[in-house]
A and B are shown apart, each in its own frame.
Chain A
Amino acid sequence: MKIGRRSFLSFIIGGAAGTALSPLAWKSMDDSSIWSQNWPWTPVPADGEVSHVNSVCTLCPGGCGITVRKVDDRAVKIEGMKGHPVNDGGVCILGLSALQLLYGPTRVKAPLKRVGERGEEKWQEISWSEAVAEVAAKLGDLRSKGKSHTVCSILDSDKGTVPYLFGRLLTVYGSPNFIRTPSIQDSYELAINLMHGVQASAGFDVEHADFVLSFGSGLIDGWGSPVRMFKANSNWKDSGSKVVQIEPRLSNTAAKSDKWIPINPGTEVALAMGLAHVIIKESLYDSDFVNNYSSGFDKFKQLVLDKYNPDNVAQITGVDSSALVSLARNFAHASKPLAVCGRGQGKTQGSLDEFIAVHALNALVGNINSEGGVWAVPDPDYIKWPEVEMDSVAAVGMQKERIDGAGSETYPYARYLLNRFSGVVNSEEESPVNALFVAGANPLYTISDSKAVKEAFSKIPFVVSFSSYMDETAKNADLILPNHVFLERYEDVPMPVGLQKHVIGLSRPVVKPQFNTKHVGDVIILIAKALGGRIADAFPWDNYEACLEETLGDKWESIVENGFWSDPDFKVPASEEAFNTPSGKFEFIPANLKSPLDFSPVTIEGSDISYPLILVPYDSMRLANGFIGNPPFITKTVEDTVLKGKDVFVEINPKTAEEIGLIEGRYVDIRTPRGKAKVRVHLFDGIMPGIVALPRGLGHTAYDKYIAGKGINFNELIGPVEDPVSGFDAAWGIRARLTKV
């Protein structure tokens, strides 16, 4: 028998019919669809017991309370803590993504010692005892050579037990070089110091203000404590409070404000003085406060009446004089007006004149230390450690001038000047810094003129990073002593930025340390103990947790239970007692200032001939631009007109674009006196002609492949411009040029 073609076909047809009548086809289809929904790389959290831990987020200075949902030993979701005095249940997109920073690949998993060249990323894992011994040996060596003052620490904060431990170690070791990373806190503290005569942070009673005048502050773009500001903003909408936003670019804040006033960039100080002019001229100021509790008003009055009439100001700022007059009247007539400044998220210090001018506006309307106004909030004084006893080496070291020049004759007012750091190091043949410790900060990324900062770092013989992540600074360090991330450690988080209350939050271990990391507080104590003598004596605690518990004393139990402690009795003194200036009053023109302020706009770097455009940065909640790299979850939310693939877009007004012949999406080279980069063009009506803008928070070169290599770091294009009085970085932009590529 021979099987022919027809029989064969018939067999196939029979087979097909049989298959259709069997479950094979539809069952396979069902199974393959389930299979395709369960790829092995799709993460599926294991089932288990659910629990919640209250803690505090430390990813920005906002100090939000968080509640972390756990399944067994794994943290699975971060939410805002209900009832927390800062954020009451809210959380920002960065806080939400923090689990990626806990479990993601960017962590440093053990103490690492550099074996290749700096930045080459050749590391050798070492033990903690080796790491501590190495640091102690280095410090001991420098000290024995009388070079203790060449040791320097850079931290993101000077409040709380961890910065205090660093400060204490430096003091008893013999170095005055504790440096805090720059922000508008510096300028606000200084303005308050000069005008109130007290050392305090600025607190803003935003919840009660009914007219908010913002000089470029990104109220809902991450200024102050971000989640608190979102909440305040929705309250303003509900209660009909007004928000006026003054800035050259239509930011989110400007778009959501009641009135957006575009202004020539950098001229905000003149506008503030112009508003003061109208308020004084029309006698709209709070005469009770001005007559009874202020001094220098006449001089101030003379200055604004002479130099800042609305027409002059209109010319400088580009803001129509009639708009200025009506803005001044509305502001002064509001029952609780509040003026704030510090551009964007307030990551650069800004010019002192501007802060003094804006603070003077607040004083004119009498809202200093009052409901809905600006408060001078002293640090809570819960850290009461015994004075350190210095030996002779330490005493000599502490007498030396600071490396950044803060507190010197040239810069008598500033406390920290990290912006001057690289200039100082680079100007000398041999680095004046012999050892540098960096904790909770990433200066190689966040400080402007990255190239110069990198050069300075490369000259410093010994750099130690305490970063939990392989950030730019860690990558270029000699030793990395990784700290636990905030979800794995105890730490007090005092003074959420901009809050007019005393609140201390407690970060606490939500999960066990995932890797061989160590609390930075413990490491400092171990280093001190290894150094011995008076240094060891200054650190009587067995470990950091014991130190923290002892420091918080009777607050410990309630802070552990609630996740935070807030002082119910906190008040600022009444105006009779609030000021500690030479006059005992609020000083419009600070008597303590040796050189007079001229209240003129800051000139930025670059000539307008070779660089016809002005480049300004902008901040967004979707791009973390501090020492934390933007986790991939958030990067996903960045619009295609900001970042597409690896390309960042420069915003430009369509008119300006037309003049130089650019169209949407076009690749261009952007050049500034400090650097150049290849970017793409985005036409945006919301930016003033002649100005271009780039976002901050992109262009990482470290961390991991998910964070690095996206866009460019704004700090590579801009350098510091020194404020003549304070020494702060007053740069608000830089001149730039676009060329087609």
Chain B
Amino acid sequence: MSRLIEEKGKESESGGFIILFFILGLAASLVLGWGVFPKLLYSQKKQPIDFNHVLHVEAVEEGCESCHFFREDGSFSGLPKLAQCVDCHEEIQGEDPNEVKFVEEFVANEREVPWLVYAEQPDCVFFSHAAHVKMGKMECVLCHGHIGESSHSRVYEENRVTGYSRDIWGKNISGLKKNTWDRMKMDDCAECHAKNKIGYDKTSMETLPWPLNWALLPYEKQIGPKARVQAKKDACFVCHK
């Protein structure tokens, strides 16, 4: 008898229970994947100094280029070195605790500020600011967003696995984006490069550093509207050094 009851119980399990557990499993893993995982994946770091872009842009004369400029040889000085800051910050100005900290900890000790770089790419990625900004006449905002309008430094979210900033993959864990500056992965480079070749003419090609071979060659195959296989020899080495 008792065996019978047990078997009956089992039978009832096979009905609603199974579906329930399926849903439970599904829900748990969705919560894990969309909610918990991103939280675990990124650690939250604060910049050593809370930097106010707005204040600085107002004070300088040449906009972004006052601090983020091209060196004489054409290479880009992304992060200003202490030497540039010292021009104005030799002494403490005002009472902001960040300013005090900056001058006392860094300027006085001649120590470079260990800024956390939101846009840092792996070393194998070759990217020329000159080609994009000078030749391509692109605005900083296009890739970096409205960082120049921020009055506080954002939290720097560091990927615990790769060590790179969350900005590269993008805030949205699904990898979808709304703005051009939401992500900085290779697909995002490719997207823009692909777009710019549409309806290209001589002049726009000249402003693009991308070699002419970006135009589809007969033996290349289109693998999607944006990305495609670049079959020409050496093409990979334009960006991957």
Contact = CB atoms under 8 A, between A and B. Distances in A.
Interface string A15-37: 11111011110011011101101
B162 A35 contact: yes
A22 B30 CA distance: 6
Interface in B152-193: 159, 161-164, 169, 173-175
A31 B168 CA distance: 11
Nearest to A19: B29
B41 A10 contact: no
Contacts of B71: 49-50
Nearest to A31: B161
B163 A7 contact: no
Interface residues of A, number: 34
B17 A16 contact: no
A741 interface: no
B26 A14 contact: yes
B30 A18 contact: yes
Interface string B99-128: 000000000000000000000001110000
B163 A38 contact: yes
A37 B21 contact: no
Contacts of A13: 22, 25
Contact of A24 (B32, B75, B159): B32
Contacts of B17: 3-4, 6-7, 10
A30 B26 contact: no
Given A11-B21, A21-B33, A23-B173, A34 B26 contact: no
B10 A4 contact: yes
A44 interface: yes
A38 B162 CA distance: 8
B34 A23 contact: yes
Contacts of B141: none
A37 B122 CA distance: 9
A45 interface: yes
B28 interface: yes
Contact of B25 (A10, A23, A47): A10
B19 interface: yes
B189 to A, nearest CB: 15
B186 to A, nearest CB: 11
A16 B22 CA distance: 10
A18 B32 CA distance: 9
A2 interface: yes
A41 interface: no
A31 B165 CA distance: 12
Contacts of B78: 47
Given A37-B122, A49-B77, A18 B13 contact: no
B29 A16 contact: yes
Given A37-B122, A37-B124, A10 B27 contact: no
A388 interface: no
Interface in A32-65: 32, 34-35, 37-38, 44-45, 47, 49-50
Contact of A50 (B21, B22, B30, B75): B75
Interface in A450-501: none
B97 to A, nearest CB: 29
B21 A31 contact: no
Given A22-B29, A23-B175, A45-B123, A14 B169 contact: no
Nearest to A27: B173
A4 B37 contact: no
Contacts of B13: 2, 4, 6-7
Contacts of A6: 13-14, 17-18
B9 interface: yes
Nearest to A25: B33
Contact of A21 (B30, B77, B169): B30
A21 B161 CA distance: 21
Contact of A22 (B18, B22, B34, B124): B34
Contacts of A12: 25
Contacts of A11: 21-22, 24-25
A22 B32 CA distance: 8
B73 interface: yes
B64 interface: no
Nearest to B28: A15
SS of B interface (majority): helix
Contacts of A2: 9, 13
Contacts of B163: 35, 38
A47 B123 CA distance: 9
Interface in A260-319: none
Given A11-B24, A14-B23, A34-B122, A23 B33 contact: yes
* Most chain B CB atoms below 10 A, which of A15, A28, A38, A47: A15
Contacts of B23: 14
Contacts of A4: 10, 13, 17
A476 to B, nearest CB: 41
A515 B78 CA distance: 31
Given A10-B18, A47-B78, A18 B162 contact: no
A10 B22 contact: yes
Given A18-B29, A19-B33, A27-B173, A34 B164 contact: yes
B41 A31 contact: yes
Contacts of B18: 6-7, 10
A23 B33 CA distance: 6
A14 B18 CA distance: 10
A139 B31 CA distance: 81
Contacts of A34: 122, 161-162, 164
Given A16-B29, A18-B28, A50 B73 contact: yes
Contacts of B174: 23
Contact of B169 (A8, A22, A30, A37): A30
B197 to A, nearest CB: 26
A30 B21 CA distance: 30
A22 to B, nearest CB: 2
Interface string B184-212: 00000000000000000000000000000
Nearest to B124: A37
Interface string B1-15: 000000001100110
Contacts of A21: 26, 30, 33
Contacts of A24: 29, 32-33, 37
Interface in A310-331: none
A25 B73 CA distance: 43
A14 B9 CA distance: 22
A446 B68 CA distance: 53
B21 A7 contact: yes
A18 B123 contact: no
Nearest to B36: A24
Contact of A14 (B21, B122, B161): B21
A17 B161 CA distance: 24
A14 B24 contact: yes
Given A4-B13, A31-B41, A14 B22 contact: yes
A559 B220 CA distance: 54
A52 to B, nearest CB: 9
Contacts of A49: 71, 75, 77
B210 to A, nearest CB: 23
A616 to B, nearest CB: 42
Q: List 3 tightest A-B contacts by C-beta distance, closest first.
A: A22-B33, A14-B25, A18-B29
Interface of B: 9-10, 13-14, 17-30, 32-34, 37, 41, 71, 73, 75, 77-78, 122-124, 159, 161-164, 169, 173-175
Given A14-B25, A27-B175, A37-B124, 10 more contacts: A7-B13, A10-B25, A14-B21, A14-B27, A23-B175, A24-B29, A31-B159, A31-B161, A44-B123, A45-B123
Interface of A: 2-4, 6-8, 10-19, 21-24, 27-28, 30-32, 34-35, 37-38, 44-45, 47, 49-50
21 contacts: A2-B13, A4-B10, A10-B17, A10-B21, A12-B25, A13-B22, A14-B21, A15-B26, A15-B29, A16-B25, A17-B26, A19-B29, A22-B37, A23-B33, A27-B41, A27-B169, A38-B122, A44-B123, A47-B78, A49-B71, A49-B77
